[in-house]
């Protein structure tokens, strides 16, 4: 019976996926991460003397931009320039940036006369760059001194590498929402990236820190200006053009995440909508044998959308069954089924344990483990959050007018001490 099969599917799918991420994460760790013997402070020597351009699109970043430029400028790499793209900001960003050119000799500033959106800002950065390797970071991302060297190690390591993505680390952890995201970034997002890298293709680079080969971008026409998540779109188009995208967990970039529910919701909804838009736009091009390496990533994403709606239906039926009798033969859905529950709980624990073991080398904070204590249950909540955002995002993506320009405003940057 269809409903009973759906009930089984919604409980099995997260379980299987969590184990795939665990297995993929362990595979990646032993295959690349551990064997390399390097850490964030000691990137391997690529033997290349290539220069790069750090591109920083900023829209109303007056509060953050000084720090962002400072840390980018402090990169320990032999030859680079920094290009800040002021995307028609209405705050003091333009003036601050111009003043910073007096302090930081490697900094150049490109003003867009009016707000154009992040994709156009990045495109303009690619045009302005003097080098063919671009390291793109967000206007509020603080680079680790060796992050650029790590990214360049990959970009110069072979002609197939079109892009590389780094490892964003969350700085603000005062509230429960902050701690949840710390756990999520390492126990879920980090594991997913490693697992996807293990099977050769990744769903998306992190827009907050990604490096690109300009020749690859030029072949595919640079960033699209009508996708709400330009990073997911560019990742798919690069890989559809057979470029490799690497994930480098040692390329660190420090970020502030939202610590309000409204900020988190807006951000996650945008991510979910961006994924759906990308699949809608590029899904059809996957039906060719040469594109097969992307099938795993695409299948995982499409099934996760089906799962979200399936879970939504099961929850509705479970609530309905509280007030009315279900048709004969239907499984009475319990929101926490007994045996699946034990396995799910154990899986969440193991997922956290594995990610903690893999991820702790990227933490400078000795209290890292404490975050896990607070949020040991989070892998379960992660699935509910994914369900809600996906269910809300699909109609938004379907109803969006074609060609509508994507513009977005950064969410809140969490709780910061007044002296910051």
Tell me: does residue 71 bind other proteins (CB under 8 A): yes
Residue 377, classed as helix, strand or coil, is: coil
Binding status of residue 358 toward other proteins by CB under 8 A:
no
DSSP 299-361: HHHHHHHHHHHHHHHHHHHHHHHHHSPPPTT-----SS-HHHHHHHHHHHHHHHHHHHHHHGG
Ranges within 254-283 binding other proteins (CB under 8 A): 254
Longest CA span, the chain: 76
- Is residue 357 a contact point for other proteins (CB under 8 A)? no
Name the residue nearer to other proteins (CB basis): 111 or 266: 111
Residue 224 tokens, joined: 């699209």
Q: Give the Cα separation of 281 and 273 in Å (integer).
A: 12
Nearest partner of 83 among 114, 103, 111, judged by Cα: 111
Single residue of 9, 312, 377, 408 touching other proteins by CB under 8 A:
377
Please say whether the beta carbons of 249 and 363 come within 8 A: no
CB 251 to other proteins: min, Å: 14
Q: Is residue 127 at the binding interface for other proteins, with CB under 8 A as the rule? A: yes
Tell me whether residue 205 or residue 294 sits nearer to other proteins (CB atom).
294
Report which of 50, 25, 40, 311 is spatially closest to residue 193, judged by C-alpha positions: 25
**Of the residues 54, 64, 142, 394, which one makes contact with other proteins according to CB under 8 A:** 142
Using rule CB under 8 A, residue 218 touches other proteins: yes
Which of 58, 64, 123, 355 binds other proteins (CB under 8 A)? It is 123
Among 343, 356, 388, 392, binds other proteins (CB under 8 A): 343
Give the residues across from 213 on adjacent strands. Answer: 133
Binding residues for other proteins, rule CB under 8 A, total: 94
Q: Does 102 bind other proteins (CB under 8 A)?
A: yes
> Which listed residue (38, 92, 313, 392) binds other proteins by CB under 8 A?
92
**Which residue, 326 or 416, is less far from other proteins as judged by CB?**
416
Give the Cα separation of 255 and 185 in Å (integer): 12
Q: Is 214 in the site for other proteins (CB under 8 A)?
A: yes
C-beta closer to other proteins: residue 189 or 376: 376
Q: Rule CB under 8 A: is residue 291 a binding residue for other proteins?
A: no
Identify whether the C-beta of residue 371 lies closer than 8 Å to the C-beta of residue 352.
no
Among 362, 31, 349, CA closest to 166: 362
Residue 118 is a binding residue for other proteins (CB under 8 A):
no
Judged by CB under 8 A, the residue of 67, 312, 331, 396 near other proteins is 67
- Bridge partners of 38, per DSSP, are none
Query: Mapping DSSP to helix (H, G, I), strand (E, B) and coil, where does residue 409 land?
Result: coil
Applying CB under 8 A, among 109, 155, 164, 232 the residue interacting with other proteins is 109
Does residue 359 bind other proteins (CB under 8 A)?
no
- CA triple 73-75-77, angle to 5 deg: 120
Nearer to other proteins, 81 or 326 (CB): 81
DSSP string, 368-401: HHHHHHHTTTHHHHHHHHHHHHHHHHHHHHHHSP
Q: Which is nearer to other proteins, 76 or 395 (CB)?
A: 76
Q: Does residue 46 touch other proteins according to CB under 8 A?
A: no
Beta bridge partners of 245: 163
Question: Interaction with other proteins in 4-33: which residues (CB under 8 A)?
Answer: 12, 15-16, 19-20, 23-24, 27
Is 95 an interacting residue with respect to other proteins (CB under 8 A)?
A: yes
Q: How far is the CB of 228 from other proteins (least distance, A)?
A: 16
């Amino acid at each position: 019976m269809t409903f009973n099969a759906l009930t089984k599917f919604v409980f099995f799918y997260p379980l299987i996926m969590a184990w795939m991420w665990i297995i993929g994460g362990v595979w990646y760790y032993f295959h690349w991460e551990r064997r390399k013997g390097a850490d964030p402070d000691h990137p391997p020597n690529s033997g290349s003397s290539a220069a790069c351009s750090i591109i920083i699109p900023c829209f109303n970043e007056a509060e953050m931009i000084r720090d962002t430029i400072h840390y980018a400028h402090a990169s320990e790499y032999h030859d680079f320039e920094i290009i800040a793209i002021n995307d028609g900001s209405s705050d003091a960003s333009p003036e601050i940036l111009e003043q910073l050119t007096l302090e930081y000799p490697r900094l150049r500033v490109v003003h867009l006369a009016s707000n154009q959106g992040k994709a156009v800002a990045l495109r303009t950065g690619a045009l302005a760059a003097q080098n063919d390797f671009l390291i793109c970071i967000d206007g509020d991302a603080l680079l680790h001194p060796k992050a650029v060297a790590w990214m360049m190690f990959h970009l110069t390591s072979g002609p197939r590498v079109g892009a590389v993505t780094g490892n964003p680390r969350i700085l603000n952890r005062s509230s429960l929402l902050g701690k949840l995201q710390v756990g999520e970034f390492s126990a879920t997002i980090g594991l997913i990236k490693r697992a996807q890298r293990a099977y050769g293709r990744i769903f998306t680079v992190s827009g907050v820190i990604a490096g690109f080969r300009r020749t690859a971008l030029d072949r595919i026409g640079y960033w699209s200006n009508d996708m709400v998540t330009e990073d997911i779109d560019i990742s798919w188009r690069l890989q559809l053009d057979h470029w490799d995208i690497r994930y480098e967990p040692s390329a660190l970039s420090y970020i502030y995440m939202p610590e309000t529910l409204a900020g988190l919701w807006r951000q996650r909804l945008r991510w979910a909508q961006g994924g759906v838009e990308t699949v809608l736009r590029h899904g059809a091009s996957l039906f060719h044998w040469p594109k097969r390496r992307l099938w795993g990533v695409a299948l995982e994403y499409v099934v996760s959308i089906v799962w979200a709606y399936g879970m939504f239906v099961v929850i509705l039926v479970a609530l309905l069954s509280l007030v009315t009798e279900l048709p004969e033969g239907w499984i009475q859905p319990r929101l926490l089924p007994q045996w699946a529950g034990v396995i799910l709980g154990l899986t969440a624990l193991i997922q956290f344990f594995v990610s903690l073991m893999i991820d702790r080398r990227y933490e400078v904070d000795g209290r890292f483990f404490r975050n896990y204590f607070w949020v040991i249950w989070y892998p379960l909540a992660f699935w509910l959050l994914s369900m809600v955002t996906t269910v809300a995002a699909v109609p938004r993506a379907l109803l969006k007018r074609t060609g509508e320009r994507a513009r977005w405003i950064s969410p809140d940057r969490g709780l910061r001490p007044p002296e910051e």
